[in-house]
């Protein structure tokens, strides 16, 4: 048994964390929040594309590096920790769909551009009134889609969207070229990451795989997003721990008070559980393991639990200063909402986990 | 990444599995009635001896101490395979899991030679004599004293909550040897013969109804200086060796404790408030998910630690999360499941449904697990201080000579 990232993947993660710590972080995030700020950090995007981050998962035949999902997980965690205003995770999620379910022609059309960084991709399942990815109302008919997708992360800067819509056998993915598409910016609780609204009105679209592929992609997306959430939660915890070591009240560091200390311990516990399940998910993708569905759902739920707890208690632990506009606490607090919205709520995923366990038990019986 | 056994691991697993098939057949099913103490001890000893002869004891211990010199992975594989059988277990977990590693880390060669092999063979049972009425979490506050007399020490005082003292032949006992020193500095560890004159063991009945732990009184008990573990005054450090092993030994979920599957099965047979099967109710499904996430998360965390270990890294205090999560999850699950089953979950004894009786056992037992081997609160302190580097609690008596500490 070897239940750990490869050294190469860890190295890439280390490189990514270092670069993003230098170039991104809460300072740039604050600038991105200002009115009229650009929707992404184009300079940083160029740099990370040149470093091959967007090419990581793209097969070599299509101009990529052909790396494993381990590298993708490391990049997502680094992105989550840095709040970097680049559409990296959106592009990674879309890439995963193309790699998983794309035909040779679809891959040849989109992946080289993604690998080089020229093409920015995103995924769109959410709709007004929809609360979970199994329930989409956008319809596919005769090679075109109709419906409204929002909020869609990074839509304002994306060139292509992988869209979930109701097909003949249930929801499945479609590729929509955004050139000439009807897109608009939507405001969200997260003031750093741009989101958009995509109005589909008999808009041409190509089916990407089938309904089964959509379910498989959801598993993979859950794991990649779990790593992003873990990165963000870890950053919030680090902020709390630092503050607990310096802030003084009643003549001592607040970190000496157990209600503070035990909060931090609980952050750590929740993060470790999330890491364990997320790594299980990565291992299941890598080995085509039978426990992928349950691992993915558990990773999703555990990572959302960790993020919600770390983000909320981080504000609490800072007291009044934590509630100010100037404090960095708000970034993690708001990003928590973005990452829930990114793939549907905890409750739906917890139920999906139980369904996976039931299925496994039936199979074993 | 690879979840499968390596070829070597697979081979070891196959050997273990075949050996268990040949040797554990009488333990295929759980005993119809739980064993009374003498039968439990006799069965434990016989099983340990069988394992020992086959090379399945002390799997990770150095060969020079009678162990197999294999990796923690081997030990886990053995545990996984043995876990499919209902063999007697628990009698040796404190002795072999904590006491003996302390003996071979700090004892002199003759003592090691005398005690380690017999302990491994299962002939002699050991207990851990640390907690006292006035010192549990605050272990360094113990009062049992040892006074030097020639090349012997004389021990007087009282220990409490000593698991399996009534079945033990020897114990490791931490004593105060210098009350003029601050509390952590005046301690010394000894091996004590539980059958020696002056040792009295009195059983304590637990909340759960069983009597696994005891009070132990020491009245002028004599111990040879050669049975000292570590230097005089170094008992705190020696105790930390034991406690480090304790974290590894009592980390996981007890083998027979109900998990999410139990709730899943139960919920098919009981009604939700609206009269439909409870398995469809959202709160039930959320609880199943949470239980899986916690229990399986700990298993996976241990596998992460194991992988780190096999690459030469040392598992750190990170392991402290294990018992905090597992014990509380056990309690929450049992409480929820018993709630769900209404009056049936309340009826006990011979009138109870066996599955529900197990949950009742888990409900009662988990309350003890949250305390034994470091309480939830102490373990959170350890995580916060040793893993995250937060400052220690206020410890006003830390530097005061023990005999001058002001009573509060
Ligand atoms: C089933 C069982 C088996 C046991 N077996 C053994 C054994 O074999 N050998 C042995 O030596 N001991 C054994 N123990 C004893 C066990 O180690 C102690 O009970 C435990 O360490 C707690 O100590 P205490 O009982 O004195 O409680 P206390 O330390 O008095 O704790 C009371 C409460 O105060 C809290 N508390 C104490 N200090 C702090 C702090 N600094 N911060 C926050 N909260 C605090 C505790 O968490 C707890 O909630 C066993 C206990 C149980 C339940």
Owner of token pair 């197999």: B68
Question: What does the pLDDT read at residue A131?
Answer: 87
Distance between CA atoms of residues B178 and B157, nearest Å:
14
Nearest to B190 by CA among B202, B199, B203, B201: B199
Domain that holds residue A202: 123-210
Pocket test for ligand 1, best of B95, B131, B383 (most atoms within 8 A of CB): B131
Question: What does the pLDDT read at residue B248?
Answer: 60
Write out the two tokens for B378.
């102490």
Taking domain B260-373, whether its CATH number is 1.20.140.10 is answered by yes
Owner of token pair 């009981």: B270
CATH, residue A80: 1.10.540.10
What averages of pLDDT result for each successive group of 10 residues across chain B (408 residues)? Answer: 87 98 95 91 97 95 92 89 94 94 95 96 97 96 97 98 97 98 96 98 94 96 98 96 71 83 96 94 97 96 84 70 95 97 92 93 95 94 95 90 81
Given the DSSP bridges, would you call strands A206-208 and A160-167 parallel, antiparallel or unpaired? unpaired
Same structural domain, A280 and A186: no
Residues on chain B touching A361 (C-beta within 8 angstroms): 261, 264
Torsion over CA: A55, A53, A89, A154 (sign): negative
CATH 2.40.110.10 domain position(s) in chain B: 126-244
Could you say which of A252, A262, A272 has the minimum Cβ distance to residue B384? A262
> Does the interface predicted TM-score (ipTM) exceed 0.90?
yes
Spatial CB neighbours of A131, under 8 Å, sequence gap ≥ 6: A344, A345, A348
Nearest to B306 by CA among B77, B57, B15, B13: B77
- How many beta carbons lie within 10 A of that of residue A128, not counting itself? 11
Distance between CA atoms of residues B293 and A276, nearest Å:
9
Of the three residues A90, A119, A148, the one that is the final residue of a domain is: A119
Distance between CA atoms of residues A94 and A106, nearest Å:
12
- How many beta carbons lie within 10 A of that of residue B141, not counting itself? 16
Distance between CA atoms of residues A343 and A221, nearest Å:
8
Distance between CA atoms of residues A238 and B295, nearest Å:
26
Torsion over CA: B276, B281, B283, B284 (sign): positive
Distance between CA atoms of residues A241 and A73, nearest Å:
25
Write out the two tokens for A341.
């919205």
Task: Say yes or no: A261 contacts chain B, CB-CB below 8 A.
Answer: yes
Given the DSSP bridges, would you call strands B170-176 and A182-186 parallel, antiparallel or unpaired? unpaired
Nearest to B306 by CA among B317, B315, B298, B293: B315
Same structural domain, A355 and A281: yes
Question: What does the pLDDT read at residue B251?
Answer: 60
Q: Is A267 domain-assigned? A: yes
Given the DSSP bridges, would you call strands B126-129 and B170-176 parallel, antiparallel or unpaired? parallel
Same structural domain, A360 and A250: yes
Same structural domain, A155 and A20: no
- Overall average pLDDT of the A82-98 stretch: 97
Task: List the end-to-end C-alpha distance of chain A, in Å, as a whole number.
Answer: 26
The helix (H) or strand (E) run that includes residue A110 is helix A104-116
Q: Is A50 domain-assigned? A: yes
Number of alpha carbons in the 13 Å side-chain half-sphere of residue A299? 33
Given the DSSP bridges, would you call strands A252-253 and A248-249 parallel, antiparallel or unpaired? antiparallel
The answer to whether B246 is a known catalytic residue is: yes
Same structural domain, A127 and A227: no
Write the CA distances from B67 to B63, B312, B339, integer angstroms. 5, 20, 46
Q: How far is A43 from chain B (nearest CA, A)?
A: 34
Residues on chain A touching B7 (C-beta within 8 angstroms): none
Same structural domain, A217 and A358: yes
Say if residues B332 and B288 touch (Cβ distance below 8 Å): no
Q: What angle do CA B332, B338, B340 make, to 5 degrees?
A: 100
Say if residues B310 and B73 touch (Cβ distance below 8 Å): yes
Q: Is A245 domain-assigned? A: yes
What CATH number belongs to B126-244? 2.40.110.10
Q: Is A66 domain-assigned? A: yes
Nearest to A95 by CA among A144, A52, A40: A52
Q: What is the number of CB-based contacts under 8 A between chain A and chain B? A: 156
Of the three residues A147, A175, A210, the one that is the final residue of a domain is: A210
Given the DSSP bridges, would you call strands B170-176 and A139-141 parallel, antiparallel or unpaired? unpaired
Write out the two tokens for B143.
């009062």
Spatial CB neighbours of A323, under 8 Å, sequence gap ≥ 6: A315, A329
Same structural domain, A127 and A149: yes
How would you class B376 by CB atoms within 10 Å of its CB: exposed for 0-12, middle for 13-18, buried for 19 or more?
middle
Write out the two tokens for B97.
């899991």
Write out the two tokens for B89.
């277990």
Least confident window among A130-139, A198-207, B114-123, B311-320: B311-320
Q: How many domains does chain A have?
A: 3
> Is B264 within 8 Å of A256 when comparing Cβ atoms?
no
Owner of token pair 């209404």: B342
Same structural domain, A92 and A138: no
Say if residues A310 and A267 touch (Cβ distance below 8 Å): yes
> Is B304 within 8 Å of A252 when comparing Cβ atoms?
no
CA B130–ligand 1 middle distance (angstroms): 10
Say if residues B172 and B190 touch (Cβ distance below 8 Å): yes
Same structural domain, A171 and A253: no
Q: Is A1 domain-assigned? A: no
Q: Which of B39, B123, B246, B385 is catalytic?
A: B246
CA B132–ligand 1 middle distance (angstroms): 9
For A70, name the nearest residue in chain B, comparing CA atoms only.
Answer: B1
Write the CA distances from A62 to A7, A110, A122, A228, integer angstroms. 25, 9, 19, 26
> Is A241 within 8 Å of B286 when comparing Cβ atoms?
no
> Is B391 within 8 Å of A255 when comparing Cβ atoms?
yes
Distance between CA atoms of residues A93 and A24, nearest Å:
21
For B305, name the nearest residue in chain A, comparing CA atoms only.
Answer: A3
Q: pLDDT, tens digit, for every residue of A232-286?
A: 999 999 999 999 999 999 999 999 999 999 999 999 999 999 999 999 999 999 9
Could you say which of A4, A245, A289 has the minimum Cβ distance to residue B307? A4
Pocket test for ligand 1, best of B95, B134, B135, B136 (most atoms within 8 A of CB): B136
B275: left (phi over 0), alpha (psi -120 to 50) or beta: left
Instruction: Write out the DSSP string of B272-324.
Output: -TTSSBGGG-HHHHHHHHHHHHHHHHHHHHHHHHHHHHHTTPPP-GGGGHHHH
More confident residue, A142 or B3: A142
- Average model confidence (pLDDT) across chain A: 97
Distance between CA atoms of residues B2 and A286, nearest Å:
8
Q: What pTM, to 2 d.p., does this model score?
A: 0.95
CATH 1.20.140.10 domain position(s) in chain B: 260-373
> Is B293 within 8 Å of A294 when comparing Cβ atoms?
no
Distance between CA atoms of residues A84 and A23, nearest Å:
8
Which ligand 1 atom sits nearest the alpha carbon of residue B129?
Answer: 11
Distance between CA atoms of residues A123 and A114, nearest Å:
14
Strand partners, A165: A172
Given the DSSP bridges, would you call strands B152-163 and B145-149 parallel, antiparallel or unpaired? antiparallel
- How many beta carbons lie within 10 A of that of residue B110, not counting itself? 10
Mutate to test the interface with B, among A71, A269, A284 (most CBs of B within 10 A): A269
Residues with CB under 6 A from ligand 1: A 258; B 94, 127-128, 130-131, 136-138, 161-163, 213, 368, 371-375, 377-378, 381, 393
Q: pLDDT, tens digit, for every residue of A55-73?
A: 999 999 999 999 999 999 9
CATH, residue A178: 2.40.110.10
Write out the two tokens for B377.
């609160």
Q: Is A204 domain-assigned? A: yes
Distance between CA atoms of residues A338 and A183, nearest Å:
19
DSSP code of A34? S
Q: pLDDT, tens digit, for every residue of B211-264?
A: 999 999 999 999 999 999 999 999 999 999 888 777 665 567 887 899 999 999
Could you say which of A266, A276, A357 has the minimum Cβ distance to residue B297? A276
Q: Is A42 domain-assigned? A: yes
Say if residues A102 and A62 touch (Cβ distance below 8 Å): no
Q: pLDDT, tens digit, for every residue of A155-196?
A: 999 999 999 999 999 999 999 999 999 999 999 999 999 999
Could you say which of B297, B380, B383 has the minimum Cβ distance to residue A273? B297
Residues on chain B touching A10 (C-beta within 8 angstroms): none
Q: Is A2 domain-assigned? A: no
3-state SS class at A62: helix
Q: How far is A357 from chain B (nearest CA, A)?
A: 9
Question: What does the pLDDT read at residue A2?
Answer: 87
Q: What angle do CA B215, B218, B223 make, to 5 degrees?
A: 130
How would you class B404 by CB atoms within 10 Å of its CB: exposed for 0-12, middle for 13-18, buried for 19 or more?
exposed
Same structural domain, A175 and A83: no
Which ligand 1 atom sits nearest the alpha carbon of residue B371?
Answer: 53
Nearest to A277 by CA among B259, B300, B290, B261: B300
Same structural domain, A217 and A359: yes
Question: What does the pLDDT read at residue B398?
Answer: 87
Instruction: Write out the DSSP string of B24-90.
Output: -GGGSS--SSPPPHHHHHHHHHHHHHHHHHHT-SSTTS-GGGT-----HHHHHHHHHHHTTS----S
């Amino acid at each position: 048994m070897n239940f750990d990232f490869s050294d190469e993947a860890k190295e890439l993660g280390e490189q990514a964390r270092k670069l993003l710590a230098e170039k991104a972080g809460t300072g740039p995030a604050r600038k991105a929040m200002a009115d009229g700020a650009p929707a992404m950090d184009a300079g940083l995007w160029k740099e990370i594309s040149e470093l091959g981050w967007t090419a990581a998962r793209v097969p070599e035949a299509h101009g990529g590096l052909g790396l494993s999902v381990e590298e993708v997980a490391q990049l997502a965690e680094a992105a989550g920790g840095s709040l970097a205003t680049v559409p990296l995770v959106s592009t990674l999620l879309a890439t995963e769909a193309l790699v998983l379910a794309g035909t040779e022609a679809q891959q040849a059309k989109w992946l080289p551009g993604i690998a080089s960084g020229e093409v920015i991709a995103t995924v769109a399942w959410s709709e007004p009134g929809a609360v979970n990815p199994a329930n989409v109302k956008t319809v596919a008919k005769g090679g075109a889609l109709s419906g409204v997708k929002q909020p869609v992360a990074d839509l304002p800067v994306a060139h292509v969207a992988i869209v979930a819509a109701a097909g003949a056998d249930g929801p499945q993915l479609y590729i929509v070229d955004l050139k000439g598409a009807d897109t608009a910016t939507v405001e969200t609780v997260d003031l750093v990451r741009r989101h958009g609204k995509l109005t589909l009105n008999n808009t041409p679209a190509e089916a990407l795989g089938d309904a089964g592929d959509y379910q498989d992609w959801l598993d993979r997306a859950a794991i990649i997003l779990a790593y992003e959430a873990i990165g963000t939660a870890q950053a919030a915890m680090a902020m709390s721990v630092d503050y607990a070591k310096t802030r003084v009240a009643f003549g001592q560091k607040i970190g000496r008070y157990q209600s503070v200390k035990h909060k931090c311990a609980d952050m750590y516990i929740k993060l470790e559980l999330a890491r364990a399940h997320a790594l299980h998910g990565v291992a299941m993708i890598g080995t085509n393991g039978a426990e992928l569905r349950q691992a993915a759902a558990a990773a999703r739920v555990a990572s959302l639990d960790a993020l919600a707890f770390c983000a909320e208690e981080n504000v609490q632990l800072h007291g009044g200063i934590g509630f100010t506009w100037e404090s960095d606490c708000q970034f993690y607090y708001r990003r928590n909402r973005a990452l829930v919205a990114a793939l549907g709520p905890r409750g739906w995923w917890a139920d999906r986990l139980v369904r996976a366990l039931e299925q496994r038990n039936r199979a074993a019986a | 990444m690879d979840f499968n056994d390596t070829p070597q691991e697979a081979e070891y697993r196959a050997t273990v599995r075949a050996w268990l098939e040949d040797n554990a057949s009488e333990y295929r099913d759980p005993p119809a009635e739980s064993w009374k103490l003498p039968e439990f001890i006799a069965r434990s000893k016989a099983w340990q001896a069988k394992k020992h002869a086959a090379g399945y004891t002390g799997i990770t211990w150095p060969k020079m101490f009678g162990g197999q010199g294999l990796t923690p992975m081997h030990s886990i594989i053995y545990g996984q395979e043995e876990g499919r059988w209902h063999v007697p277990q628990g009698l040796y977990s404190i002795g072999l899991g904590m006491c003996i590693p302390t003996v071979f880390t700090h004892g002199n060669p003759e003592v090691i030679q005398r005690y380690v092999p017999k302990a491994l063979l299962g002939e002699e049972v050991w207990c851990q004599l640390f907690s006292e009425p006035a010192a549990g979490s605050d272990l360094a506050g113990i009062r049992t004293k040892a006074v030097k007399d020639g090349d012997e020490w004389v021990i007087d005082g009282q220990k409490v909550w000593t698991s399996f003292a009534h079945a033990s032949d020897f114990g490791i006992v931490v004593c105060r040897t210098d009350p003029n020193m601050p509390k952590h500095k005046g301690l010394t560890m000894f091996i004590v013969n539980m059958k020696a004159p002056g040792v009295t063991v009195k059983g304590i009945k637990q909340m759960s109804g069983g009597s696994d732990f005891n009070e132990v009184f020491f009245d002028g008990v004599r111990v040879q200086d050669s049975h000292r573990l570590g230097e005089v005054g170094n008992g705190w450090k020696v105790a930390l060796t034991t406690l480090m092993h304790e974290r590894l030994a009592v980390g996981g979920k007890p083998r027979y404790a109900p998990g999410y599957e139990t709730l899943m099965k139960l919920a098919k047979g009981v009604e939700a408030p609206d009269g439909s099967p409870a398995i469809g109710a959202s709160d039930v499904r959320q609880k199943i998910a949470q239980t899986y996430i916690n229990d399986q998360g700990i298993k996976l965390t241990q596998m992460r630690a194991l992988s780190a270990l096999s690459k030469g890294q040392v598992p750190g205090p990170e392991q402290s999360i294990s018992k905090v999560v597992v014990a509380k999850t056990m309690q929450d699950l049992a409480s929820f499941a018993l709630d769900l089953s209404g009056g049936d979950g309340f009826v006990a004894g011979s009138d109870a449904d066996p599955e529900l009786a197990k949950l009742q056992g888990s409900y009662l037992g988990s309350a003890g697990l949250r305390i034994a081997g470091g309480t939830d609160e102490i373990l959170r302190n350890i995580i916060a201080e040793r893993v995250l580097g937060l400052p220690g609690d206020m410890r006003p008596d830390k530097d005061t000579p023990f005999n001058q500490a002001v009573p509060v």
